[in-house]
């Protein structure tokens, strides 16, 4: 059996580095075969996952020899970190490796939603020429509100300011005297809704953040403001957002993460037909470049933990 099990996609050069030293099972679809996954984890010293593999309960119990878990990303809500800690299993997120990809995604979505000109290809080539309807707004001069002000949010802030935006942020976990606030205004959550033309979420999913963007918050936003969530599904109340969009409470939204993932046709039906909505499949942090960075960071950490020679 393999010492290292990789249950979701990973850069193949990074996989090869691990496989050169330790017996390795790599199957990007292993997450969809729970019985095979549980069997494989049984003798593994390391498990490498993305966001879909739920390492808790029976699967974690099956991993009786696990020494470490590599997370190809930064969110840890799919891993029972406390249970891993209790069993002295190290958990390694790929901190910082995909920050740039997420930041670029947020800025791109903000520009697309404000400009409102990029979804008209079919109408234009059909000869409708909807020029007046496509007149949108510039990002420059707008206020970008960040919910959470960690590493990714700071990347967004820097790019937004370079483009001529003012930035405000809400982060009760960051002390008011932290140097990160030097060029960004520290406001309340209500202040984000009141002041922002663009609201972007950058928080983990916890009991405190679940549905922090609810119908009350959405109604408090400016009617011409837009919302972007590339952080965690569940931080936004999806049903409330669909209602707010359909009733014109806000001007648009982009979701890369959802309360139900993968998003089913049934769960996605609430967003059907909304012209001011962008949906992507949890891909904001995954580019060709970031996949290489994330994969090799985790390979480095796992190899450091397991050593440079196989114990099998």
Per-residue confidence band for 312, with pLDDT thresholds at 50, 70 and 90: very low
Nearest of 253, 246, 191 to residue 220 by alpha carbon: 191
Domain range summary for the chain, segments of one domain joined by +: 4-97+289-306, 99-279
What tens digit of pLDDT does each residue of 227-256 get?
999 999 999 999 999 999 999 999 999 999
Quick one: three-class SS letters along 214-279?
CHHHHHHCCCCCEEEECCCCCCECHHHHHHHHHCCCCCEEEECCCCCCCCCHHHHHHHCCCCCEEE
Nearest of 213, 202, 238, 227 to residue 110 by alpha carbon: 227
Q: Domain 99-279, CATH 3.40.50.300 — does that match? A: no
Homologous superfamily assigned to 4-97+289-306: NAD(P)-binding Rossmann-like Domain (3.40.50.720)
Catalytic sites, residue numbers: 232, 261, 282
What tens digit of pLDDT does each residue of 118-139 get?
989 999 999 999 999 999 999 9
What tens digit of pLDDT does each residue of 40-75 get?
999 999 999 999 999 999 999 999 999 999 999 998
Average pLDDT over residues 27-32: 97
**Does this chain's domain 4-97+289-306 share its CATH topology with 99-279?**
yes
């Amino acid at each position: 059996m393999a010492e290292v099990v990789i249950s979701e996609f990973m850069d193949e050069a990074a996989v090869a580095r691990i496989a050169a030293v330790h017996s390795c099972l790599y199957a990007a679809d292993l997450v969809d075969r729970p019985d095979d996954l549980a069997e494989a984890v049984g003798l593994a010293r390391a498990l490498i996952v993305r966001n879909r593999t739920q390492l808790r309960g029976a699967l974690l119990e099956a991993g009786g020899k696990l020494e470490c878990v590599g997370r190809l990303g930064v969110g840890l809500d799919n891993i029972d970190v406390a249970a891993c800690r209790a069993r002295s299993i190290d958990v390694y997120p790929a901190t910082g490796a995909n920050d740039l990809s997420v930041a670029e995604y947020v800025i791109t979505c903000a520009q697309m939603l404000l400009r409102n000109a990029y979804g008209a290809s079919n109408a234009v080539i059909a000869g409708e020429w909807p020029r007046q309807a496509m007149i949108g707004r510039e990002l420059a001069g707008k206020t970008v509100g960040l919910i959470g002000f960690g590493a990714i949010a700071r990347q967004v802030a820097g790019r937004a300011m370079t483009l001529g935006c003012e930035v405000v942020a809400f982060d009760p976990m960051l002390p008011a005297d932290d140097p990160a606030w030097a060029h960004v205004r520290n406001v309340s959550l209500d202040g984000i809704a009141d002041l922002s033309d663009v609201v972007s979420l950058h928080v983990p999913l916890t009991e405190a953040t679940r549905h922090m963007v609810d119908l009350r918050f959405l109604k408090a936003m400016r009617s011409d403001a837009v919302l972007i969530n590339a952080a965690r599904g569940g931080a936004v109340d999806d049903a409330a957002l669909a209602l707010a969009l359909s009733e014109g409470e806000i001007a648009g939204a982009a979701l890369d993460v959802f309360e139900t993932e993968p998003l089913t046709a049934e769960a996605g039906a609430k967003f059907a037909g909304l012209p001011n909505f962008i949906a992507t499949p949890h891909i904001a942090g995954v580019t060709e470049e970031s996949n290489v960075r994330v994969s090799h960071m985790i390979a480095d950490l796992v190899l450091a933990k397991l050593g440079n020679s196989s114990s099998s």
